[in-house]
């Protein structure tokens, strides 16, 4: 578990920013929608929340001065289900200005235990358990990611500790004629690597 890791990084333009408070404690947070459209990956939009009173104040000031500028948001990657469909989301804790020419994208880096792998309609799907230490508790998340390269499916087995890096994207953004495809936007893995557990080194 100490070898697990979760990072979510989003480069894009903030198109929606709502100030909210959590139920119960009333902790302030921001609901964010970020446009990450690029020609290779499709019209991607990422959703997430930013926490931390001081960071929220700084980010709101940043948006006032740079409303339509590209920004990088740093945090954790997560997923949730709604009516049987799994969606991606992010928890942000920091941000930074970036160059206008940076490529918009919604990315993730995960290290966790491979729980299962399956082929669904000819595509490879991996389910990882990633455990994060948050204050006094360990939060375990089961995250499902798709492989761009189906050959990587045969290089890992359930029980392996693996690292995956990828982005939210369509498998193919354009068809042969240059039109938009109907491919769904999913968390697709670009690279996969088996890791050695710390207690096995």
**pLDDT tens per residue, range 155-169:** 999 999 999 999 999
| Size of the chain, expressed as the number of residues it contains | 201
Q: Which residue has the tokens 């740079």?
A: 66
How high is the pLDDT of residue 3? 85
Task: Classify residue 132 by burial, with Cβ atoms within 10 Å: 0-12, 13-18, 19+.
Answer: middle
Annotated domain spans of the chain: 5-200
- Separation of CA 48 from chain center: 9
How high is the pLDDT of residue 201? 56
Who contacts 161 (Cβ-Cβ below 8 Å, separation ≥6)? Answer: 3, 111, 112, 113, 114, 194, 195, 196, 197
Beta carbons of 86 and 80 less than 8 angstroms apart: yes
Residuewise pLDDT in 10s, the chain (201 residues): 458 999 999 999 999 999 999 888 889 999 999 999 988 898 999 999 999 999 999 999 999 999 889 999 999 999 999 888 899 999 999 999 998 889 999 999 999 999 999 999 889 999 999 998 776 678 889 999 999 998 889 999 999 999 999 999 998 887 777 778 888 899 999 999 998 776 665
For the domain covering 5-200, report its CATH number: 2.40.50.140
Strands 45-51 vs 137-147: parallel, antiparallel or unpaired: unpaired
How high is the pLDDT of residue 127? 97
Beta carbons of 125 and 142 less than 8 angstroms apart: no
């Amino acid at each position: 578990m100490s070898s697990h890791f979760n990072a979510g990084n989003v480069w894009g333009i903030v198109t929606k920013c709502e100030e909210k408070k959590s139920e119960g404690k009333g902790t302030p947070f921001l609901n964010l929608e970020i446009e990450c459209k690029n020609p290779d990956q499709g019209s991607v939009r990422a959703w997430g929340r930013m926490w931390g009173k001081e960071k929220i104040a700084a980010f709101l000031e940043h948006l006032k001065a740079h409303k339509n500028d590209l920004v990088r948001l740093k945090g954790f990657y997560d997923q949730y289900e709604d009516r049987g469909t799994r969606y991606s989301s992010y928890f942000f804790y920091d941000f930074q200005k970036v160059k206008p020419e940076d490529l918009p994208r919604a990315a993730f880096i995960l290290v966790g235990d491979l729980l299962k792998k399956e082929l669904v309609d000819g595509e490879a799907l991996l389910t990882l358990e990633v455990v994060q230490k948050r204050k006094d508790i360990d939060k375990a998340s089961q995250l499902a990611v798709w492989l761009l390269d189906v050959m990587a499916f045969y290089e890992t087995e359930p029980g392996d500790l693996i690292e995956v890096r990828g982005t939210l994207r369509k498998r193919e953004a354009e068809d042969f004629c240059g039109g938009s495809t109907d491919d769904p936007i999913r968390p697709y893995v670009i690279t996969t690597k088996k890791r050695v557990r710390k207690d096995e080194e």
